[in-house]
Structure 1
Amino acid sequence: MPMHPRESDPAVPDPADPAPEGAVSPPREDLPPSGGPAGTGPDTDAEPGPDAAGGPAPAEDEYTAELKELEDRWRRALADLDNLRKRHVKELERERLTERSRTAAAFLPVLDNLELALSHAGSDPGAIVEGVQAVRDQAVNVLELLGYPRHAETGVAFDPARHEVVGVAHDPDAAPGTVVEVLRPGYGDGERQLRPAAVTVAKRE
């Protein structure tokens, strides 16, 4: 029988042959996806490592600097407070010494007059009495100048803030509750009182 020639099968391209011009080459399975080695592609969700930013976060640096500044200011404030306390103690002691010296100096004339009265004790006894009274008045005046006036009034109403009752007496001429006798004068008023006056008060009927 005559043999009819068979239509030839389409030629199977050889992978080694170059692809014709304009043809699209199929993807090769032995090549990894673009952007990295096989099995690793670009991961946009991955966060950068600690070294990616080049060091600690700016917020942490700012916090540390502010903390150091506050600590320095706190230490300086403590040092200033300690210096102020020491200076206050020195000034207070200096004021005490100054006031003590001023008070003592105010009584020097009183001592001078007492010595002068004693030096004339043998000449005239009457002059001694007058001299002692003058010295007493001078001492009372010094205390008043220092802020401690003398209180030795009689006939005034009893005041517990200025008087200390040491006895009662029946005096028909005095109103009940009034001072009839001062046994020991008082000096000063209110918070600046050295001592109250010791008095005898008229008895109430």
Structure 2
Amino acid sequence: MDGLRTRGTGEAERLLEERTADVQRVKAEYDNYRKRVRRDRMAVREIAVGNVLTALLPVVDAVDRACAHEPLTPGLRDVRDTLRTQLGSLGLQAFGERGEPFDPACHEAVVHRAAPGAEGLVCAEVLRPGYRVGDRLLRPARVVVAGPS
């Protein structure tokens, strides 16, 4: 009788270990699934925000042109500031400054001017700012480049 009980206990322990391993494996698969879904949702959100911001860039350009060529009224200033604040909260970053090194990955050179004695290419003038969200380039900056001929 003792031999039977020992064999039954050993079988039960083996089954318990198998089921415990199965549960641990299913839990690990579920945790990986949740992480993958969270990562996919974030990627979809980033793409959607980038698409909306890209569609709004002509509006930003129009407001900037209006501010440059019209008297800056309180209403126009409020529209400009609110637009910049809201787009900035979504992660929109403008770039393209006079004097920064030219980078063909994020600058679009429209004109090249020879600059005697220059060591490298620099943005001499920014014709249209560029925009990015995080690491994603939405639009390159259009620049006039100065540097060695």
Query: Normalising to structure 1: TM-score of the pair?
Result: 0.41
Indicate the structure with greater helix content. Answer: 2
Cα offset for 1:172?
4.7
1:200 corresponds to which residue?
144
Q: CA deviation at 1:191?
A: 2.5
Tell me, yes or no, if structure 1 residue 64 matches structure 2 residue 11.
Answer: yes
Q: Which has the higher strand share?
A: 2
| Aligned residue among 153, 163, 166 for 2:109 | 166
Structure of larger gyration radius: 1
Paired with 1:197 and 1:174, the residues of 2 have a C-alpha distance of: 25
1:81, distance to aligned residue in structure 2 (A): 3.6
Q: Quick one: distance in 2 between partners of 1:79 and 1:171?
A: 66
The count of aligned residue pairs is 126
Q: Any conservation in 2 of the 1:155–1:174 contact (CA below 8 Å)?
A: no
- Letter of the 1:142 partner, please give it: Q
Question: Bigger relative contact order, structure 1 or 2, given CA contacts below 8 A and separation 6+?
Answer: 2
Shift of 1:173: 8.8
Percent identity among equivalent residues? Answer: 29
Distance change (3 Å), C-alpha of 1:87 and 1:157: closer
Return closer, same or farther for 1:148/1:75 CA change in 2, 3 Å cut-off.
same
Shift, 1:90, TM fit: 7.2
SS at match of 2:124: strand
2:145 paired with 1:191:
no
CA distance in 1 between partners of 2:23 and 2:110 (Å)? 63
2:90 to 146, 164, 173: 146
